[in-house]
Amino acid sequence: MLVLPAELTHAQATACCGMLAQALRSDPGPQAVADASALRSFDSSALAVLLECRREALARGKTFAVVHLHPRLRALATLYGVAELLPEPASA
């Protein structure tokens, strides 16, 4: 499980991407799941981080999903036309 921090803005995006990429590389499972339940303060950089995680997961042959995506972030993803790239897990 890839756990997003409570705050994810432009200031934290690079460090967060690195942390999540390392977690993704160390997880041998077939699916990468990002848990956004802790995320409270964010900007569009949070979408960029999630999309980068998705890209990294797909490059490693994994599926990608997001659980507990904040409704405002889901609305932002819809506005930008990328909501379908951040699905909930099939078993959720």
State the Cα–Cα distance between residues 74 and 66, nearest whole angstrom. 10
Domains of the chain: 2-85 (3.30.750.24)
Instruction: Give the pLDDT confidence score for residue 90 in this predicted structure.
Output: 81
Mapped onto helix, strand or coil, the DSSP state of residue 8 is strand
Q: What is the pTM of this model?
A: 0.93
Cβ atoms of 19 and 1 closer than 8 Å: no
Q: Provide the residue-wise pLDDT of the chain in tens; the chain has 92 residues.
A: 999 999 999 999 999 999 999 999 999 999 999 999 999 999 999 999 999 999 999 999 999 999 999 999 999 999 999 999 999 998 64
Mapped onto helix, strand or coil, the DSSP state of residue 28 is coil
State the Cα–Cα distance between residues 57 and 35, nearest whole angstrom. 14
State the Cα–Cα distance between residues 30 and 70, nearest whole angstrom. 25
Instruction: Give the pLDDT confidence score for residue 15 in this predicted structure.
Output: 97
